Structure 1
């Protein structure tokens, strides 16, 4: 990824701790997804909020008070996820015990195994291609030096917060569509999709306005005493990405629809298309135009993906 030496040594110490704690991350994801799949989204949300609070408190203790640095942040993440995994398992065991299984449930079914592997491989390809693309984009940014890396890290944290609403919306649409498709109520599934689409578009517009008009404020909040070069690059990135951000939320709506409908290959193709455009344009133009190149490349990728998703959706209606 062309990471500068002064950054890579710190990143390695952080990642070693995070990777060692991945088992708790997988366990928490499994349990929280099981809760949402049976419609108990409230409990999943409360547990997630509890995880965020614990993580924040531990960050303050380990980093600000104990001065453990980046390793303290990693330990805070692993410990918070361990605690909420235990909490999630305890809640399921007490309130939704049918989700747990015993020896009598261990029956081998080839049909179910094939279906599970099929969905799992496609979903894994979707997620891995997304993050491989992000790594490649980060590599382009890393070529530009520490100031550019710092600006990009700060802005993507802000963007990630905004995008969490889109990801949550996609998941909500997916669950609703899947439940009604499984119940053979296609009309209600489509109504739920349209409702979710409207909500996410409104959220996307609102967050775009906040990101555009409060770009400087949010970057200053994320970083104390940032130099002028970091601020300029960060603000340019935020304002550029904000213009097209609503397309990200529209794309998330379609991802929810296709996942819930069982057409999990469509989001994979869309993600590969988006990432390919984003990576190619980033490496071609970042030297000339700086960090806003990444924002433009991302926006063009969203335009392409939403166009592709809509064409597939429109043709399926005929």
Structure 2
């Protein structure tokens, strides 16, 4: 009797998991396996894929120019994550401590940009940051350009690495704010009151109570920002131009322009392994956040 019930439960579990497993296998694992195979192939004379397997594509990616692109991609993803953290943590903290009605309004404002097309948002920033754009006109009107703000504006104007960071932070900031808010919203304020009663100053209470309890949100937000930032190619292409070529741009160019699918597939595999490596290292150091809280 018990064995029959267990068999029925196993069958129900298989029926529930089966469609999802089939979907993931067909649209994730199979394309990934094909990408691995193509990464070891060669490019034909007319851009076709010749299945003559070798490590030539991976050797080509070890060249200095490609190594610089990989290093730049990691650097941009790191600074994007760090700046999203610096801007997102205070915002998430403010939202979490706001009254319920205001809290939902603030969350709504954080999510509003997702209601518009991604390219429209990027083009809006291009208009703002171009040399004679909205920001330049405003700084000129208040007497800061030319003047004290000239060097600062030169770092973030369109087609500079600074402009790419602005666009990336704007795009990924909600992915940092929401996990942080989910952790901070659960914060028991009586713990902060207890820390204050015991003589802890606000900064010490934050370091000993608030920050450790928000570590799960920090870990989740960092992963949610770093991983897509590594593969982003639209923002660097539109806002950075030729000065900021990242690994995502390299993959896009090899597939769509150079028609060198094997090299593009190899670059994709390198990006995947590099992203997974950094993510695993980060989670190994910080855990999921729950272990450190415990």
TM-score, L = length of structure 1: 0.27
Q: Which has the higher contact order (CA 8 A, sep 6+)?
A: 2
- In our comparison, the structure showing a higher alpha carbon Rg is 2
> Whose helix fraction is larger, Structure 1's or Structure 2's?
1
